[in-house]
Amino acid sequence: MASRRDFLTLSAATVLGELIALPGGTGRCAEPVENEPLQKRLVADPHRPRCHLMPPANWMNDPNGPVFWNGQYHMFYQYNPNGAFPESMHWGHAVSPDMVHWKHLPTALAPTPGGPDKDGCWSGCAVVAGRVPTIVYTGVFPQVQCLARSDDGMMSWRKFVGNPVIAVPPQGMETMGFRDPCVWHEADEWFLGLGSGIKGQGGMVLLYRSTDLIHWDYLHLLCRGRKEELLPGKDPVSTGEMWECPDFFPLAGKHTLLVSTQGAVIYSVGSYVNHYFRPEVQGKADLGGCYYAARSMVDEKRRRILWGWIKEGRSDAAQRAAGWAGVMSLPRVLTLGPDGTLGMAPAPEIEALRGKHLRFENLPIAPGSSPLLKGVRGDSLEIHAEIEPGASETVGLKVRTAPGGEEETLVTYSRISGRLLVERERSSLSRDVDRGSQGGPFALAPGETLKLHIFLDASVIEIFANDRACLTSRIYPSRPDSLGLGAFARGGKARLKALDVWEMRPISPDRLTT
Ligand code: FRU
């Protein structure tokens, strides 16, 4: 076993020193943004979410090591303190009593000059070994696996002096990547799944075993992709030759593997026997193109909760200019559907943000005319609608609609094509933002109503359909009056059985400090 002396302390002084030297002087995560022009811009930015976890400024991507420990939720995430672009990855850190309201803590991990993570502390996980919180993450370059521990309740982290704990891929294996450890405890041993893949073959998860989290033996492939599933693409992740961010866990008597590849989070539900995972049912955890690198945790009530990185839908230059990029998704409760697919619903804890409420009942939806619902305006709304599709071919809601319809975003279910879509063509008058439709297969059973649970938060839209499909997207309306909400139908009449809408309260008064 390693002793305390084997771990280097990432002291507050180091963190502060590194951050003070940064251009922009944004200060530590735990403190307000100190650069006044940037702070003003962030507060005034109509596209910056107010109800989602994100760093006070700068870039974030993957959720890392979400964990419930000592009565609190800890969330780490890939973070660049130098600006709104993906470089020099640190681990940002926030803590919450309820998965909804967050307080920023000092950066947990920063690259150590000359160390195995000198070029970045990439994604990984957090586990509590005995009583010791431990982070297992990827150091770059080359990609190696490293360890850090905390003795003070996760306030600071000491890197293991013997890092890396896994230095090279298994002998004879020419991998296209070797990263993003996911660790779990099973029958008194630790297991680690690592994202990897082989050129021309497909993505895979390498399986390791350890008794102390330090010495790891390679066992075999936990699971591998199939050649036939590869897509044309410019890099191994877009083709599917490389799987990023594996997450592996038991769920309702089966096992679930998540991997991020080909621009999406792919889930497989299957059986786990003799340390081999055999997928039986597969799908996408999200039908939009903006949700990635998802990681799960077990919450206080023993539910399996999923978090994901919500990517931006605008140019790198626009992200840098805004001074922030990337948002953490709202927490999703995972369940197993009767057909073996993954069920997903927003965690009820989010209801804590509900403010003013309006309810509409039993409204006809005629094709061709779709008046806006009276009295509803907002860019921070929770919407719960139940719609009878009736004779319509396509039915849905329109959100962020300008009074004259100059801008609007449609959330649609098409009975004809069996798809759930977010139609963004007219979501913004700006030419600089993504406006393509996003979505995927979704079908209602005969007689089933369409239940849309939508969270609008500035440029983020998260859609849950009938608690079994999710679609996360980004919209950047340019008009300040693009705030209306309505229902619409095409090809036949439908009915809005009921619609509840709540204003959502911001998770912090100024969104910058807590
Ligand atoms: C996924 C990913 C991971 C990597 C991290 C780097 O988005 O590419 O594979 O560890 O981001 O920030």
pLDDT digits (tens, 9 = 90+) for 328-381: 999 999 999 999 999 999 999 999 999 999 999 999 999 987 889 999 999 999
Q: Is the CB of 123 under 6 A from ligand 1?
A: yes
Confidence of residue 301 (pLDDT cuts 50, 70, 90): very high
**pLDDT computed for residue 513 by the predictor:** 44
Burial class of residue 166 in the structure, from the number of CB atoms within 10 Å of its CB (0-12 exposed, 13-18 middle, 19+ buried): buried
Cα 159 to Cα 144: distance, rounded to the nearest angstrom = 14
Give yes or no: 62 in active site: yes
The mean pLDDT value for 243-268 works out to 98
CA of 123 to the centre of ligand 1 (A): 6
461 token code pair: 């839209």
The mean pLDDT value for 483-508 works out to 96
Q: Is the CB of 311 under 6 A from ligand 1?
A: no
Q: Is the pLDDT of residue 139 over 70?
A: yes
Is the separation of the CB atoms in 451 and 474 below 8 Å?
no
Choosing from 60, 90, 122 the residue with most ligand 1 atoms within 8 A of its CB, the one to mutate for a pocket test is 122
**pLDDT computed for residue 39 by the predictor:** 87
The mean pLDDT value for 127-153 works out to 97
**pLDDT computed for residue 7 by the predictor:** 54
Q: Is the CB of 122 under 6 A from ligand 1?
A: yes
350 token code pair: 């989010």
To the nearest whole percent, how much of the chain has pLDDT over 90?
90
Secondary structure of residue 71 in the 3-state scheme: coil
**pLDDT computed for residue 23 by the predictor:** 23
2 token code pair: 């390693």
Find tokens 């008064």 and name the residue. 509
Q: Is the pLDDT of residue 82 over 90?
A: yes
The mean pLDDT value for 305-329 works out to 97
Per-residue b or e along 75-85, where b marks 16 or more CB atoms closer than 10 Å to that residue's CB: bbbbbbbbbbe
Find tokens 């089966």 and name the residue. 254
Confidence of residue 38 (pLDDT cuts 50, 70, 90): confident
Instruction: Please give the number of the atom of ligand 1 that sits closest to the Cα of 78.
Output: 12
Is the separation of the CB atoms in 126 and 102 below 8 Å?
no
CA of 87 to the centre of ligand 1 (A): 11
Q: What is the DSSP string of 354-369?
A: EEEEEEEEEEEE-TT-
Cα 10 to Cα 221: distance, rounded to the nearest angstrom = 34
Does the N-terminal peptide bond of residue 141 adopt cis geometry, omega within 30 degrees of 0? yes
Q: What is the DSSP string of 9-62?
A: EE-HHHHHHHHHTSTT----TTS----HHHHHHHHH-TTS-SSS---SSEEEEE
Q: Is the CB of 261 under 6 A from ligand 1?
A: no
Is the separation of the CB atoms in 314 and 433 below 8 Å?
yes
Q: Name the strand (E) or helix (H) holding 239.
A: helix 236-239
Confidence of residue 37 (pLDDT cuts 50, 70, 90): confident
**pLDDT computed for residue 6 by the predictor:** 56
Cα 6 to Cα 1: distance, rounded to the nearest angstrom = 10
Cα 98 to Cα 72: distance, rounded to the nearest angstrom = 8
**pLDDT computed for residue 21 by the predictor:** 22
Confidence of residue 10 (pLDDT cuts 50, 70, 90): very low
Q: From the CB of residue 468, how many other CB atoms can be counted at a distance below 10 Å? A: 17
250 token code pair: 């038991």
pLDDT 10s digits, 193-231? 999 999 999 999 999 999 999 999 999 999 999 999 999
Which residue is catalytic, options 45, 62, 151, 286?
Answer: 62
Cα 181 to Cα 148: distance, rounded to the nearest angstrom = 13
Secondary structure of residue 319 in the 3-state scheme: helix
Cα 26 to Cα 164: distance, rounded to the nearest angstrom = 31
CA of 437 to the centre of ligand 1 (A): 25
Query: What is the pairing mode between strands 327-328 and 144-149?
Result: unpaired
Average pLDDT of the chain?
Answer: 92
Q: Which candidate, 9, 362, 361, 360, places its Cα nearest to that of 151? A: 9
476 token code pair: 């950047």
**pLDDT computed for residue 370 by the predictor:** 80
- Main-chain phi, psi angles of 238, to 5 degrees: -75, -25
The mean pLDDT value for 387-416 works out to 97
**pLDDT computed for residue 34 by the predictor:** 73
231 token code pair: 């897509």
Q: Is the pLDDT of residue 20 over 50?
A: no
The mean pLDDT value for 153-170 works out to 97
Q: From the CB of residue 351, how many other CB atoms can be counted at a distance below 10 Å? A: 12
Q: How many helices (H) and strands (E) does the chain have?
A: 4, 34
Long-range contacts of 147-155 (CB under 8 A, 24+ apart): 147/213, 147/214, 148/7, 148/10, 148/108, 148/109, 149/7, 151/4, 153/70, 154/69, 154/74, 154/93, 154/95, 154/105, 154/108, 155/105, 155/106
Nearest CA owner, ligand 1 atom 9: 244
Q: Which candidate, 466, 445, 458, places its Cα nearest to that of 409? A: 458
Q: Is the pLDDT of residue 509 over 90?
A: no
The mean pLDDT value for 127-131 works out to 94
Cα 72 to Cα 21: distance, rounded to the nearest angstrom = 32
3-state secondary structure 207-219: EEEECCCCCCEEE
Q: Is the CB of 138 under 6 A from ligand 1?
A: yes
Cα 506 to Cα 101: distance, rounded to the nearest angstrom = 9
